[in-house]
Amino acid sequence: MASVSETIQVSGIRCEKCVMRLAKTLEGTEGLESANANLMGQVLLTYDDERISRNALLETMARGGFREQQFV
């Protein structure tokens, strides 16, 4: 098992309900070990990269209205 932890910045988190909605969006995702979000839009993901890819996690979050923010 190869656990990966990383923090990503996402848009769409403005309140405590948004954090709960993100948790619901990710609930039951195969290979996801934990996800912790704060009101600043930072999401700490811990996942098994042999079972799910970073892109698959981003796609799941995007379906819930949460998109990774790219900083230039």
Residue 60 banded pLDDT, cuts 50, 70, 90:
very high
Backbone conformation region of residue 28, classed left if phi is above 0, alpha if psi is from -120 to 50, else beta: left
Determine if the pTM surpasses 0.85.
yes
Residue 15: CB atoms within 10 Å: 9
* Whether the predicted pLDDT of 42 surpasses 80: yes
46: domain CATH number is: 3.30.70.100
If one counts the domains in the chain, the total is 1
pLDDT of the residue at 44: 97
Expressed as residue numbers, the domain containing 30 is 3-68
The DSSP secondary structure of 18-55, one letter per residue, reads HHHHHHHHHTT-TTEEEEEE-TTSEEEEEEETTT--HH
The pLDDT confidence band at residue 40, using thresholds 50, 70 and 90, is very high
